[in-house]
Chain A
Amino acid sequence: MNTRKNFIDIDHYQLNKNKNVVCGDVFLSKKIKEEGKIIAVLSDGLGSGIKANVLATMTASMALNFTSNNSPIQHTAEIISNTLPIDSERQISYATFTIIDIDYDSETKIINYDNPDFLLLRNQKFIPIPENSIEINILGKNKKMYSFDFKIQKEDRIIVFTDGVSQSGIGNTNMAFGWGIDNVKIFIIDLINKYKFISSHDLAKKIVNQANNNDILKPRDDISCAVLYFREPRKLLICTGPPFNKFDDNKLGSIIKKYNGKVIISGGTTSQIVSRLFNKEIHVGLTLDHSGLPPIAKMEGIELVTEGILTLGKVSEILQNINTTEVNGEGAAVEIIKNIFNNDIIEFVVGTKINNAHQDPNLPVELEIRRNVVKKIIKILEEKFLKEINLHFI
């Protein structure tokens, strides 16, 4: 596995055109672990609503797959445009796209077909990147797309959005031609000056919400923004379960002590071990919340202390059911998930000692084996949320 020194925090945010139930813009991203590659695509389908969504989904997924297979971009663009279903009213088929392709060595290629220009933000400034134009043949017509090559650096951000952002507010007295890229840039610089380390999710959301404000809270078009932020990875350690061997309790303690990141302990017995080793008391709260999970506890130096198996089961269930990094609700599982989303590299240390009391067939619920629950969580985090995961058994 290629592990890059820096991590890419990728996220997006979107709002649908007023009253539409689906978005006509689609953002997809994929991490190819073996090659250390990251590919992301933003596509804006013609029109809005379901039809646009179908066009954009087809475009984005084809672009993602072709690019993962290293097929030449011109070819990809032509195939996409020539396969899209033709709109019966307008007799054209059309969806814009921006493809971002970053390899393990930070070499970055961006292709833009009819989306607003992407922005590269470095040291609080936008860096212009020279463009190459590429001619493509779409349904017998010559069209142009643009490609950009550069090397991405630590703390860089790539920001892409659909014209729902740049054209928001069209016709307002103060912005007859819409918000415009230059003003979007000023808005972003202001934000970055205020929040230097703002996450991709928060930055994308703020941009989209401002565009929505420009449209006076009734979006005239689908509004989407995606951000790729190349930064020092934030690390989170989740320890769950007592070590198989009692002698290894100390090992668990030293892993936690040496860790340069946040630490969560999920498991009562595990937290007792740590409490004993570090001589720190566990304070168990007795607050019943709506999650139905055992309450959160506190221990000095530890970010979060929760019960183990029920809580992790819930974490896995919630992760299964969400598709964005917006999580609402309360309780131990939601807190764990929020912490996961705020970090890039998630490390699990799983103790493999079996709790015999949990194996009683008369229990009202089946208590899963910890290892299996953790494996499920990891699979979702890697595949759906592109997190980098390390797993150790102890």
Chain B
Amino acid sequence: MEKKIEIKICIGTLCYVMGGSELQLLAEHLPEKFKKRVDIIGSTCLDYCLDQEKYGKAPFVEINGEVMAEASINKVIDYLIKKY
């Protein structure tokens, strides 16, 4: 079976106040074809917020280990469509 795509949503304080709270609804918005292929998990602070010059702005999401800054539901979905 194909390995699942792992999406880690940061629910640390900073990401949360910067809009990460909405990301918790990601699962509901995923296009049908990704629903079974994706594993969504929550995470405490991923530490990217401590170096925003390097990583960009919160909220952060990690998709198969790659960081995405200023993440939003649409941004994550666009990325999935392009990449997978």
Contact = CB atoms under 8 A, between A and B. Distances in A.
Interface residues of B, number: 22
A1 interface: no
A338 interface: no
A332 B51 CA distance: 28
Contact of B21 (A272, A288, A297): A288
Contacts, number: 68
Interface stretch (A89-97, A129-137, A252-260, A304-312): A304-312
Contact of A294 (B18, B21, B41): B21
A365 B17 contact: yes
A356 B21 CA distance: 21
B64 interface: no
Interface stretch (B7-15, B29-37, B71-79): B7-15
Given A294-B13, A364-B18, A286 B41 contact: yes
Nearest to A366: B17
A97 B41 CA distance: 58
Contact of A269 (B9, B41, B42, B44): B44
A367 B13 contact: yes
A322 interface: no
A295 interface: yes
B24 A286 contact: yes
A292 B21 contact: yes
A303 B40 CA distance: 24
28 contacts: A268-B11, A268-B44, A269-B44, A271-B44, A272-B45, A284-B42, A285-B42, A286-B27, A287-B24, A288-B21, A288-B24, A288-B25, A292-B21, A294-B16, A295-B11, A297-B44, A307-B16, A307-B44, A309-B13, A310-B13, A310-B17, A355-B13, A357-B14, A357-B49, A357-B50, A358-B14, A367-B13, A367-B17
A22 to B, nearest CB: 39
Contacts of B45: 268-269, 272
Contacts of B42: 284-286, 295, 297
A307 B12 contact: yes
A294 B13 CA distance: 8
Contact of B16 (A271, A285, A286, A310): A310
A53 B31 CA distance: 60
A308 B24 contact: no
B22 to A, nearest CB: 9
Contacts of B16: 294, 307, 310
Contact of A268 (B9, B12, B17, B50): B12
B17 A363 contact: yes
A207 to B, nearest CB: 43
Interface string B49-72: 110100000100000000000000
Contacts of A367: 13, 17
B72 to A, nearest CB: 15
Interface string A196-215: 00000000000000000000
Contacts of B25: 288
